[in-house]
Amino acid sequence: MHKPFYASGFLFHVATEQILLQQTNIGDINNLTLFRGKSHSGGDPQSVFRRCVEEAIGIPIPASSIRPVYDYVHDKLGEHFIFYVEMTDITPKIFASKKNTAWFSLSKLTKQTMSEQTRHDIIVGLRVIQSLMDAKNPHVNPKA
């Protein structure tokens, strides 16, 4: 029997260094969340994540743009996989979906309301992105 899992993540616009997150409103509080999907009948985590993002924003996501961040076992949800989508093209500010989403600059993320787990997942994701960017553009050591 298939054991359900969750796949979550965010979109990252390379040129502007912004991330796209979902917004939920509980009363007067605006809370940011990752895009999250649950496996229902098998499938791989990347496909589950891709499906949840495409449903949320209404545009196709190429599988080649989805990058893994890490996975862990969540206390309540069980196995959980984190991804990000690398967006290089100009992206719309508003997506054709019923879900509320918004782009946030990295400098403004610390001021936003979100769960500690969401904040942690974003921080780890951004470290992975930074590591990949550093590997593509190694710094020249002038004393070498």
Over residues 65-117, the pLDDT tens digits come to 999 999 999 888 789 999 999 887 755 555 555 568 888 998 888 889 999 99
Query: 142 lies in a domain?
Result: no
pLDDT at 66: 95
Query: 141 lies in a domain?
Result: no
Strand-pair category, 78-87 with 66-74: antiparallel
Query: 1 lies in a domain?
Result: no
Separation of alpha carbons 103 and 18, rounded Å? 6
- Domain total of the chain: 1
Question: Do residues 35 and 53 make contact, with C-beta atoms less than 8 angstroms apart?
Answer: yes
State the residue range of the domain holding 104: 6-136
State the CATH number of the domain containing residue 40: 3.90.79.10
* Confidence check: pLDDT of 21 > 70: yes
**pTM metric for this prediction:** 0.85
Confidence category of residue 141, pLDDT binned at 50, 70, 90: low
Query: 19 lies in a domain?
Result: yes
Over residues 27-79, the pLDDT tens digits come to 667 789 999 999 977 789 999 999 999 988 888 899 999 999 999 998 887 89
